[in-house]
């Protein structure tokens, strides 16, 4: 039969003989990697087949995915755009929450450091006119808040309570044109009084002509006004104008950014707790 | 071509290779008579005979060496199959085509053997290209002479027989 005539099928015979030779060689030696030669040859050949098959399949799949199966891409794109928008909104909300958390954490740190009885408060409103620089907090007499109590933040002194109601209170900021606070230069301990100007800066007055004060010095509350506890930052000397040998005008940049205040602490300690009341009768500005 | 004749050819080639070839062209590397016989049989009788003769001759030759048995057999099997296939597909009856077949077959066999030695990192050092070319030339020349003898001897014998018949 021609089917079994080996002379007609020399290709099969050739394959059988070649495989036989390889088996014979493999039985005698190992390849360089220590694997029997037959395994190395078969694996090498099969790996190439696999590589080629994978390349063909990958190419076909890429063509299908990249060109044919794109009918859902538009819907997916719209859904993804919506999701991006939602996530952006969520991100902004989370950022706001994170900022609020950070502010609260600083306030907690401040309360722990100051060892004073305080009450945290949130700013719920600002003054109705630009002349009067004040804010409204959500704590009032029912929370123990009284007039002339100091209000501070993690950045420094903020102001004092001027009008408490049952559940809220108005706080006069240091930059109000009728506000004043007793201060001292942190470096030299030279004392003075910082007045609000109605603008974004303070004026330092009642400073001795021989006081050691230079531009860049930090001012802190001295505590002698009986309102503000000692040691809270008030601001930094921004400019010193001299006229002859005397000081004419000293501008102070406040430590607190009043435009971004959100959370504050009301110092509940009575004036006696934080220090003797000033003989001038508080920090009310005297013109 | 029956099996006995194939075996006889191979046996003669082996004997000549192991005894006389080293006197021909600078030792045994110059001509591989066993390979010449395998190619000759393949061109004469086709790929099947080429495979069988190559396998038998190669294994026998391997058995007479100290190397890995099978490498030479594989090389000669491949050469026998290819030469037989070429002989079937093309007319290889002139000296030049025969020369080319012998030449190419020698190169292929050397490539197979050298490749296996490199793969196994064992066996004799790789034969220089110059020696391979020299052996290819030697094999080709011997192969052409073999074909000329094989083609010419019957005719000479026939002529002598005819002459003797006329004289008688």
Q: Per residue in A183-228, pLDDT tens?
A: 999 888 889 999 998 788 899 998 888 888 889 999 999 888 888 9
Q: Is the dihedral of CA B9, B12, B17, B23 positive or negative?
A: negative
Least CA distance to B118: which residue of chain A?
A32
- Shared domain check, A17 and A136: no
- Side-chain-side CA neighbours of residue A81 (13 Å): 6
With contact defined as beta carbons under 8 Å apart, do A71 and A118 qualify? no
Distance from CA of A53 to the nearest CA of B (A): 26
Close Cβ partners of A207 (under 8 Å, ≥ 6 residues apart): A190, A191, A192, A213, A247, A250
Residue B101 is given by DSSP the state H
H runs (alpha helix) in chain B: 3-19, 21-24, 33-45, 47-63, 71-89, 95-120, 129-167
- Shared domain check, A257 and A141: yes
The predicted pLDDT at position A219 comes to: 93
Residue A43: its chain B contacts at CB < 8 A? none
Residue B124 has pLDDT above 60, yes or no: no
Only one residue has tokens 């004799």, namely B124
Q: Is the pTM of this model over 0.90?
A: no
- Shared domain check, A139 and A25: no
Is position A97 within any domain? no
A34 is in which domain, residue-wise?
Answer: 9-66
* Residue A2 near chain B (CB below 8 Å): no
Q: Residue B50 sits in a domain of what CATH number?
A: 1.10.1760
- Shared domain check, A122 and A59: no
**pLDDT tens digits, one per residue of B49-102:** 999 999 999 998 888 776 778 888 999 999 999 999 999 888 888 889 999 999
Specify the 3-state DSSP secondary structure of A2.
helix
Residues in chain B: 168
Residue A31: its chain B contacts at CB < 8 A? 119-120
The predicted pLDDT at position B43 comes to: 92
The predicted pLDDT at position A276 comes to: 39
With contact defined as beta carbons under 8 Å apart, do B55 and B73 qualify? yes
Q: Do B73 and A24 touch (CB under 8 A)?
A: yes
Q: What are phi and psi of A229, to 5 degrees?
A: -60, 155
- Shared domain check, A224 and A125: yes
The predicted pLDDT at position B16 comes to: 81
Which residues in chain A show pLDDT less than 50?
A: 1, 3, 272-287
How many structural domains compose chain B? 1
- Shared domain check, A265 and A150: yes
Distance from CA of A39 to the nearest CA of B (A): 13
* Residue A16 near chain B (CB below 8 Å): no
- Across the interface, of A6, A7, A18, the residue whose CB is closest to B74 is A18
Q: Do B120 and A31 touch (CB under 8 A)?
A: yes
Residue of A2, A10, A28 to mutate for B, most B C-beta atoms under 10 A: A10
Residue of B45, B108, B120 to mutate for A, most A C-beta atoms under 10 A: B120
Residue A66 is given by DSSP the state I
With contact defined as beta carbons under 8 Å apart, do A213 and A240 qualify? yes
- Shared domain check, A125 and A26: no
Residue B52 CA to residue B73 CA, distance in Å, equals 10
Is position A56 within any domain? yes
Least CA distance to A37: which residue of chain B?
B120
Only one residue has tokens 């010095």, namely A217
- Across the interface, of A13, A21, A25, the residue whose CB is closest to B48 is A13
Strands A118-126 and A156-164: unpaired
- Across the interface, of B81, B116, B119, the residue whose CB is closest to A10 is B81
- Shared domain check, A123 and A59: no
With contact defined as beta carbons under 8 Å apart, do A236 and A214 qualify? no
* Residue A45 near chain B (CB below 8 Å): no
The predicted pLDDT at position A8 comes to: 67
- Shared domain check, A122 and A15: no
The predicted pLDDT at position B1 comes to: 65
B75 is in which domain, residue-wise?
Answer: 3-167
H runs (alpha helix) in chain A: 10-28, 37-63, 73-114, 271-274
CB pairs under 8 A between A and B: 53
Closest CA to A181 of A153, A143, A155, A148: A148
- Shared domain check, A244 and A149: yes
The predicted pLDDT at position B24 comes to: 57
Q: Residue A139 sits in a domain of what CATH number?
A: 2.40.10.340
Is position A162 within any domain? yes
* Residue A37 near chain B (CB below 8 Å): yes
Residue A13: its chain B contacts at CB < 8 A? 48, 51
- Shared domain check, A264 and A146: yes
Give the CA distances from residue A114 to residues A154, A183, A276, B33, in Å, rounded to whole numbers and listed in that order.
11, 18, 18, 107
- Shared domain check, A144 and A14: no
Q: How high is the mean pLDDT of chain B?
A: 84
Burial of B119 (C-beta count, 10 Å sphere; 0-12/13-18/19+): middle
Specify the 3-state DSSP secondary structure of A163.
strand
With contact defined as beta carbons under 8 Å apart, do A170 and A134 qualify? yes
The predicted pLDDT at position A33 comes to: 58
**pLDDT tens digits, one per residue of B10-19:** 888 888 877 6
Strands A134-137 and A191-196: unpaired
How many structural domains compose chain A? 2
């Amino acid at each position: 039969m021609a089917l079994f005539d080996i002379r007609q099928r020399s290709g099969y015979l050739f394959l059988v003989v070649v495989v036989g030779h390889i088996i014979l060689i493999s039985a005698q030696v190992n390849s360089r990697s220590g694997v029997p030669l037959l395994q190395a040859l078969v694996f090498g050949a099969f790996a190439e087949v696999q590589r080629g098959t994978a390349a063909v399949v990958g190419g076909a799949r890429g063509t299908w995915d990249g060109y044919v199966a794109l009918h859902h891409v538009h819907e997916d794109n719209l859904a993804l755009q919506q999701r991006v928008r939602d996530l952006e909104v969520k991100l902004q909300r989370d950022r706001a929450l994170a900022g609020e958390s950070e502010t609260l954490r600083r306030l907690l740190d401040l309360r722990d450091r100051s060892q004073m009885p305080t009450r945290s408060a949130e700013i719920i409103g600002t003054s109705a006119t630009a002349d009067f620089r004040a804010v409204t907090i959500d704590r009032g007499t029912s929370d123990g808040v009284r007039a002339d109590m100091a209000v501070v933040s993690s950045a420094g002194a903020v102001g004092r309570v001027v009008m408490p109601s049952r559940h809220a209170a108005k706080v006069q900021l240091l930059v109000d044109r009728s506000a004043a606070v007793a201060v001292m230069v942190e470096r030299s301990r030279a004392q003075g009084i910082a007045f609000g100007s109605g603008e974004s800066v303070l004026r330092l007055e009642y400073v001795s002509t021989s006081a050691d004060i230079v531009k860049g010095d930090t001012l802190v509350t001295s505590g002698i006004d009986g309102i503000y506890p000692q040691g809270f930052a008030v601001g930094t000397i921004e400019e010193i104008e001299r006229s002859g040998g005397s000081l004419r005008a000293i501008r102070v940049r406040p430590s607190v950014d009043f435009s971004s205040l959100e959370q504050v602490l009301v110092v509940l300690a009575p004036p006696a707790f934080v220090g003797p009341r000033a003989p001038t009768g508080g920090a009310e500005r005297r013109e | 071509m029956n099996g006995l004749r194939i075996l006889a050819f191979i046996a003669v080639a082996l004997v000549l290779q192991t005894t006389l070839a080293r006197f021909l062209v600078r030792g045994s590397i110059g001509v591989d008579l066993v390979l010449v016989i395998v190619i000759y049989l393949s061109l004469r009788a086709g790929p099947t005979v080429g495979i069988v003769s190559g396998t038998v001759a190669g294994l026998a030759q391997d058995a007479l060496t100290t190397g890995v048995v099978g490498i030479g057999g594989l090389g000669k099997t491949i050469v026998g199959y290819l030469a037989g296939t070429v002989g079937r597909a093309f007319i290889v009856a002139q000296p030049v085509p025969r020369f080319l077949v012998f030449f190419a077959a020698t190169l292929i066999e050397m490539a197979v053997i050298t490749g296996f030695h490199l793969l196994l990192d064992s066996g004799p050092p790789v034969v220089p290209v110059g020696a391979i070319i020299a052996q290819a030339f030697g094999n080709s020349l011997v192969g052409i002479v073999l074909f000329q003898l094989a083609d010419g001897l019957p005719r000479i014998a026939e002529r002598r027989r005819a002459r003797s018949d006329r004289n008688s």
